[in-house]
Amino acid sequence: MKDVAIIGLGCAAYTAAIYTARYKLDTVLIGEEEGGMGITAAEVGNWPGDMEVKGPDLMERFKAHAVSFENVKHQLARVESINKIDNGHSLVLQSGETVEARSVIIATGSNKRHLGAPGEDELAGRGVTYCATCDAFFYRGKTVAVLGGGDSAVEGAAIAANVAEKVYLVHRRDSFRAEPFWVDEVDKKDNIEFVLSTNVLEIQGDQKVTGIKLDKPFNGSDVLDVDGVFIEIGSTPATSLAEKLGCELDERKHLKVNPDMSTTVTGIFGAGDVTGGSNHFAQFATAAGEGAIAANSVFSYLQAGAEHSGAMG
């Protein structure tokens, strides 16, 4: 039985593993995608000590640090469920394999939110994508639409404008909620046009995206001809595992945690974007902080159990 199983392979998970390793805890890191949402950040300008670093590069450094410890096992796998057993929990993987641990840190992050418009599912992967910074390269010299008004949308539009001929930044509100730095960046781009106070009713196309239908005319037409649509309208916390286990969620469906990152289920801790622990402020810095706190709390939790039983597994 492991001392701790950390579910996730993003910023919070890797940070937690670095700390649990240094606490000499037998640790297993399990997740489906290395780097998590961190790999979708084209440029990170607010990670202390790095004036500018690419998200994938930063995540690769996080991983290298975490797996450098002999007491950390790294495993690419999907966790289907978490079940209570004597002295801990059992993680059931998609393969049928089980992993037992005395404690668990859930750092499953978040999933991209879908628009829910007709044509979206049918054209996914054929012009519809959920990561402008990942896929903009494929639209060199073409016309694209980026949907959203937060950091990921506005940053994505700025990145896409470096390769696309034309970028429409479509937002349902009349102003952006993104970090002012990124708003300033898109303001500088001559090939970005703002389509504000507007909703997308449909994504059009047969074998590939050909346009988007708007809820009101823009420049005389309610259809914009585009070759690609980047849907960047936020994300939802990946709390299905925690919810099935009986962990309490907050009003926004994030994992509810105490200041020590413990959840309402004994031996289960949370960290990163999956929680509401940092005022719902999803950043590399807050995820890393929560990962560190969760690891420290796991160490204290296991120590208390060892003192009670007279031994530590």
Is residue 105 within 8 A of residue 294, CB to CB? The reply is: yes
Catalytic option among 3, 11, 134, 227: 134
Question: DSSP readout, 162-204?
Answer: TT-SEEEEE-SSSS--S-HHHHHHHHT-TTEEEE-S--EEEEE
The CA distance from 241 to 233, in Å, is 23
> Considering Cα of 224, then 229, then 235, then 241, what sign does the dihedral take?
positive
Active site residue 135: yes
Cβ–Cβ contacts within 10 Å for residue 57, how many?
15
Active site residue 247: no
Place of tokens 């404690």: 103
Is residue 157 within 8 A of residue 178, CB to CB? The reply is: no
C-alpha dihedral (290, 293, 298, 303), degrees to nearest 10: 180
Q: If we measure between CA atoms, which residue out of 97, 67, 64, 63 comes closest to residue 80?
A: 97
Catalytic option among 135, 151, 227, 273: 135
Catalytic option among 3, 131, 227, 247: 131
**Burial class for 136, CB neighbours closer than 10 Å (0-12, 13-18, 19+):** buried
- Residues acting as catalytic residues: 131, 134-135
